[in-house]
Amino acid sequence: MYSLIHHGRRFVELQKCHNLRIFVQNGFAFSNSFSSAIVSDVRLRDSRKGNNFTVSYLVDSLGLTKKLAQSISRRVSFEDKCNPDSVLSLFRSYGFTDSQISSIITDYPLLLIADAEKVVGPKLQFLQSRGASRSQLTETVSKVPKILGMKGDKTISRYFDLVKEIIEADKSSEFQKLSLSLPQGSKQENKIRNISVLRDLRVPQRLLFSLIISDHHVCCGKEKFEESLKKVVEMGFDPTTSKFVEALRIVYGLSDKRLEENFKVYKRLGLTVNDVWELFKKCPGFLVYSENRIVQTFETLKRCGLLEDEVLLVFKKNPLCLRTSEQKILNSIETFLGLGFTRDEVMMMIKCFPHCVAYSEEMVKEKINFVVKKMNWPLKAITLFPQVLGYSMEKRIVPRCNIIKALMSKGLLGSELPSISSVLACTDQTFLNRYVLKHDDKLVLKLMAIFTKDRVL
């Protein structure tokens, strides 16, 4: 195991030396280990009224962005503020800051519909009665709020202590080993030992915590965990990224039989074994889909007008297109056709940017209408640069386009609108250098005010 840890650490150092970009994805399933009280309280209301109220409440009470609030409203919904207000008041009474409360609700919104007095309160009181200081309680719970959804005092204590120790150890200027005594019981003993091994590999806190409360049981094994971890490290996954943990979860969960079956399916469709493993390194999640889903997606894309070689190209570019259902793909194509694109243009966009068929109709229409009607770029510009559909309206499209409109109104860009890619494809710094910072100081201040106004950072 020491050589494995050394291998993982060495990989991280090599990544740093080559200045490779480290990124984080949000694909982890979270714990469903709710207490029976929380389960009985969970009533997701799908009505439009409930969702609208939820979004407004999250924005007004917690200061969340509308986009984040809408995302949370798909996980929890309520039609009055009585219960949510009680939960927020309870957290404030225990010394949680507004920032910590926002973090808790963002990560674990089901707490808003839990009974503050009978469910959440007693657990906070129990943790405090065990000797946790106010700062330890607030910091630990805000890092892993799902602890409040676990069953039984022993389980809550065990996970709270482990999370607290990791937090305290990570505050040290020097890397410290965990000294928490291992509880009796094979699963818990394995879990804590395996979490410690992952920590030694420098897996970040937030990713360790997602595994601690996960129901996937990745860290509960011994021999299988070690074998899976060895495979993932040897394949070159960076332990500091979420992709490493996702790959570990998938390798651990798939049997040799299931792997063999999937490889046979992909081979029939024209992929080699090396192709499959390369795609796994790119997007680990694609390997979990069933034969029916794989074949269905390939056949759907072919029926839409792509040739077999083009379907393979789309799949290699974005293997997670398997997440998109047959009906979703067909609906997306109809949306594009309804907006004025030809079928050939839609196929061109899919080949260039396969993820374009995964977005909601509302999002696609909003972005295309803004780009075409507000900015006067032609539809052809989107055909040639469909990546625009993947950019955030709040963070990129609107702020940058406001700058372009301001410069056009002053006659500083000539009579022709810049290409959509030159405005939206570059980094913020390149955009500012290209369109803002080259002007006189007075104009720069005005343009920066436009650029940062209502911009979500």
Give yes or no for a contact between 92 and 100, defined as CB atoms under 8 angstroms apart.
no
Tens digit of pLDDT for each residue in 110-150? 999 999 999 999 999 999 999 889 999 999 999 999 999 98
Confidence of residue 48 (pLDDT cuts 50, 70, 90): low
| The Cα angle at residue 452 between residues 447 and 453, in degrees rounded to 5 | 95
For the chain, state the CA radius of gyration. 25
pLDDT of 41 > 80? The answer is: no
Confidence of residue 26 (pLDDT cuts 50, 70, 90): very low
Can you tell me which residue has the tokens 């094994």? 221
Higher pLDDT, residue 356 or 39: 356
- 259 vs 8: CA distance, rounded Å: 25
- The tokens for 437 are 């910072």
User: How many contiguous H segments (helices) and E segments (strands) does the chain have?
Assistant: 25, 0
Most confidently predicted of 40-54, 184-198, 251-265? 251-265
Tens digit of pLDDT for each residue in 208-231? 888 877 766 777 778 888 999 999
Cα 360 to chain centroid, rounded: 17
pLDDT of residue 237: 93
- 150 vs 153: CA distance, rounded Å: 9
pLDDT of residue 14: 47
- 225 vs 187: CA distance, rounded Å: 12
Q: Which helix (H) or strand (E) holds 164?
A: helix 153-170
Q: What is the dihedral of CA 57, 62, 66, 70, to 10 degrees?
A: -60
Mean of all residue pLDDT scores within the chain: 84
- The tokens for 267 are 């081979």
Number of neighbours of residue 61 by Cβ within 10 angstroms: 18
Helix (H, G, I), strand (E, B) or coil at 179: coil
Give yes or no for a contact between 72 and 61, defined as CB atoms under 8 angstroms apart.
no
- Select from 175, 184, 199 the least CA-distant residue to 1: 199
- 255 vs 400: CA distance, rounded Å: 48
- The tokens for 109 are 């919104």
pLDDT of residue 184: 54
Q: How far is CA 201 from CA 11, 165, 252, 350, in A?
A: 10, 17, 18, 39
Tens digit of pLDDT for each residue in 318-348? 888 888 899 999 999 999 999 999 999 999 9
Supply the DSSP string of 282-299, one letter for each residue.
Answer: H-GGGGG--HHHHHHHHH
Percent of the chain topping pLDDT 90: 54
Give yes or no for a contact between 134 and 94, defined as CB atoms under 8 angstroms apart.
yes
Can you tell me which residue has the tokens 């840890």? 5
| The Cα angle at residue 194 between residues 188 and 199, in degrees rounded to 5 | 125
- 236 vs 15: CA distance, rounded Å: 10
Give yes or no for a contact between 289 and 319, defined as CB atoms under 8 angstroms apart.
no
Can you tell me which residue has the tokens 């909601």? 360
- The tokens for 210 are 């997602």
- Select from 131, 124, 56 the least CA-distant residue to 87: 124
What is the reported pTM?
A: 0.68
Tens digit of pLDDT for each residue in 413-428? 988 899 999 999 999 9
pLDDT of residue 320: 83
Cα 226 to chain centroid, rounded: 26
- 23 vs 11: CA distance, rounded Å: 16
Residue type, 133: S
Tens digit of pLDDT for each residue in 378-410? 999 999 999 999 999 989 999 999 999 999 999
Contact residues for 273 (Cβ-Cβ < 8 A; gap 6+): 263, 267
Helix (H, G, I), strand (E, B) or coil at 64: coil
pLDDT of 51 > 80? The answer is: no
Can you tell me which residue has the tokens 């609030």? 69
DSSP class of residue 457 equals -
DSSP class of residue 110 equals G
- 127 vs 161: CA distance, rounded Å: 10
Can you tell me which residue has the tokens 């109220």? 53
DSSP class of residue 416 equals S
- The tokens for 29 are 């399933």
Q: How far is CA 20 from CA 6, 180, 319, in A?
A: 20, 34, 22
- The tokens for 455 are 């911009």
Confidence of residue 286 (pLDDT cuts 50, 70, 90): confident
